[in-house]
């Protein structure tokens, strides 16, 4: 009985580029966002569509989700 080999393709996530746009900077805030993942560092301009590697896009998405969740929590728990 012969066994069939399955080939798997390993792709480098750092070569998979994704378009993103960071929210516009508020007054007094830097117009750039510094992002670092596994020693890869990027300075990304806010309010401008840019291409970044997928791990950077995923880190930014996670940060924005966490910020939204924190903002919602503060809003829900702040006495008016």
Domain positions in the chain are: 14-77
Which tens digits make up the pLDDT trace of 5-64?
777 777 899 999 999 999 999 999 999 999 999 999 999 999 999 999 999 999 999 999
pTM for this entry: 0.77
Question: Exposure of 20 by Cβ count < 10 A (0-12 exposed, 13-18 middle, 19+ buried)?
Answer: middle
Could you give the 3-state DSSP secondary structure of residue 59?
Answer: helix
Q: Beta strands 32-37 and 40-45: pairing type?
A: antiparallel
């Amino acid at each position: 009985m012969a066994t069939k080999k399955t080939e798997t393709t390993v792709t480098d996530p750092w070569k998979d580029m994704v378009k993103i746009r960071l929210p516009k900077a508020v007054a007094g805030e830097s117009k750039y966002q510094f992002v670092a993942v596994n020693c890869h560092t990027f300075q990304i301009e806010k309010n401008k569509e840019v291409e970044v590697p997928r791990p950077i896009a995923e880190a930014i998405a996670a940060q924005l989700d966490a910020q939204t969740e924190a903002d919602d929590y503060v809003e829900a728990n702040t006495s008016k």
